[in-house]
Every structure is written in C-alpha cells, then in structure tokens.
C-alpha cells in the first residue's frame, strides 16, 4: 500500500461524490416532458418545464459535490495534522490561532512548501474552497483568490489548458464571479484537490519512512489504540495484534519494516 488510510478515505469520499454527480447529470439528460416517475417512488413530480427543472437539479448536484469534496479535503488535512508523525513538519491545519482564519487560507498555507505541489494547483484548490463558501453562505460570501493569484493563473493558462483537458481558467473565474456552475469546472478543480492530497500523502510517507525503526515505534506509542495492545502481557497474540494494527494504520511501511518496528521495542 503506497497511501495512508487518511488518503484512502479521502479518495473514496471524492470518488463517491463525483460518481453521484455524474450519475445525476446523465440521468437528467434522459428526462423528457413525457417522463413519468416510477410508482414505487411514491412521489409527486410534475415539473412545468422539464428542461428548467433538469438544469436546476444538475446545478444542485454540482453545488453539493463542491461542498462534499472540499469538506473531505478539510477532514483529510485535519486528520493527517493530528498524526504523531506529522508533528515535526511545522504545519498544522487545526492550530487554535488559525480558527479565525478562513479554511481556504488555511489550506493554502498548509499546501505551500509541500514537495511536488505546483503553485497553480494550490490556487485552483483555494478557488474551489471559496466556491464552497459561495454555496454555503450564498450571497453573503465575498471570498475570492487574490489579484496576484489571478495574474499567475493567467500566465499559466495555456499550460493548464494543455495539461487538464482544455480547462479554461479564465472562463472558470468568470463562472465563479457570475455564480455559474459547470461540470467541467468542478471536475477539474476536484482533480486539483486530489493532486494536492496525493502530494501531501507522499510527503507524509517519506517522513515516516525516513525515521529509524525505534523512532517509529516510539511515535506509535503516543497513540492510545496501539498502547492498549502493547500493554498486554508479552505473547504471540500481542505480537500478531501489533503487526495487524500497524498494517491497518501504516501499511505503506511494508511487512518487513513493520516486523522490524514491532521488534524494536
């Protein structure tokens, strides 16, 4: 396993959200004025204009996917910040003094400086975080990326267009300003969330793997669920439970390393 359990949960959540959004979009495209809901649904559905209703429902699905995906990123960064191995990085999404700072800014601060994350990915991730705010807070949110960030995206627009299936950053920014929601914008921006999360995960794994077996064991002792296992009387059962616990939580270490770590006590 080359990813953390944190990333696996994040990717499962994101994948579910995008799949549902696309399923809804495909289903809506099949509706006609003659469509009748199946009797087993037991609902009243009599749209005056199917096209208008479909557009609104698709917009709702896209907005929901934005909120769900961004909240999943917040949860991923929060969880990995709490991990014992992350404490020495100097980055913490949950620091109390940041509670009055917008989560979009906290995401940007967290991602900046992480290896293999390109600046445009961070800016576009920040943009989706602000888009989430526009959905949740409606017209009361004035959040947007900075003028310098917009300029940077303009400079990189051709590169982004070439690398991300003809994604037009200028059009996306215009859609953001005009409260317009498109599948193209959202699916591409969600891709940026995924790329950033994968880079964070790779950085985290490199931190853990760079430590000695003894240091890894000591760090795991700070975790209550692992403590409860090693406090048991030494036995074959405790050894097997310890191995299983590390495989479930830090499986990316590999079996050989995990066995050495457990024996490093």
- Residue 55 shares a structural domain with residue 169: yes
Please indicate, yes or no, whether residues 244 and 199 belong to a single structural domain of this protein: no
Q: What is the pLDDT of residues 15-49, one digit of tens each?
A: 999 999 999 999 999 998 888 888 898 988 888 89
Question: Tens of pLDDT along 72-93?
Answer: 999 999 999 999 999 888 899 9
Q: What is the structure's pLDDT at 263?
A: 85
Same domain as 245, residue 167? no
Domain final residue, candidates 189, 209, 229: 209
**Do residues 132 and 158 share a domain?**
yes
Task: Mark the ranges of the chain whose per-residue pLDDT is less than 70.
Answer: 1, 96-99, 139, 265
pLDDT attached to residue 55: 94
Give the pLDDT confidence score for residue 97 in this predicted structure: 66
- Number of independent structural domains in the chain: 2
Specify the pLDDT at position 250.
94
Full domain range(s) for residue 154: 5-209
Same domain for 103 and 205? yes
- Concatenate the DSSP letters of all residues of the chain into one string: --S-HHHHHHHHHHHHHHHHHHHHHHHHHT--TT----GGG------S-HHHHHHHHHHHHHHHHHHHHHHHHHHHHHHHHTSGGGGGGS--TT-GGGTTS-HHHHHHHHHTT-TT--HHHHHHHHHHHHHHHHHHHGGG------HHHHHHHHHTHHHHHHHTTT--HHHHHHHHHTT---HHHHHHHHHHHHHHHHHHHHHHHHHHHTS-HHHHHHHHTTSHHHHHHHTSPSSHHHHHHHHHHHHHHHGGG-HHHHHHHHTT-
């Amino acid at each position: 396993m080359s990813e953390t359990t944190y990333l696996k949960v994040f990717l499962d959540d994101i994948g579910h959200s995008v799949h549902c959004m696309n399923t809804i979009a495909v289903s809506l495209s099949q509706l006609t004025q003659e469509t009748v809901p199946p009797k087993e649904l037991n609902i009243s559905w009599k749209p005056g204009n199917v096209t208008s209703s479909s557009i609104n429902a698709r917009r709702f699905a896209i907005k929901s996917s934005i909120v769900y995906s961004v909240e999943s990123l917040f949860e991923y960064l929060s969880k990995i910040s709490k991990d014992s191995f992350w404490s020495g990085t100097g980055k913490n999404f949950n620091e109390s003094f940041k509670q009055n700072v917008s989560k979009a800014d906290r995401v940007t601060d967290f991602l900046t400086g992480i290896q293999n994350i390109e600046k445009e990915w961070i800016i576009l991730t920040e943009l989706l975080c602000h888009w989430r705010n526009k959905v949740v807070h409606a017209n009361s949110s004035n959040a947007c990326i900075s003028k310098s960030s917009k300029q940077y995206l303009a400079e990189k627009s051709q590169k982004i267009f070439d690398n991300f299936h003809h994604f037009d950053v200028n059009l996306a920014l215009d859609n953001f300003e005009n409260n317009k929601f498109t599948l193209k914008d959202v699916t591409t921006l969600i891709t940026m969330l995924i790329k950033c999360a994968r880079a964070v995960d790779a950085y985290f794994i490199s931190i853990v793997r760079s430590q000695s077996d003894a240091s890894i064991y000591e760090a795991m002792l700070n975790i209550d669920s692992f403590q409860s296992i090693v406090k048991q009387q030494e036995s074959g059962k405790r050894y097997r439970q310890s191995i299983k616990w590390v495989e479930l939580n830090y499986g990316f270490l590999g079996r050989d390393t995990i066995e050495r770590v457990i024996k490093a006590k």
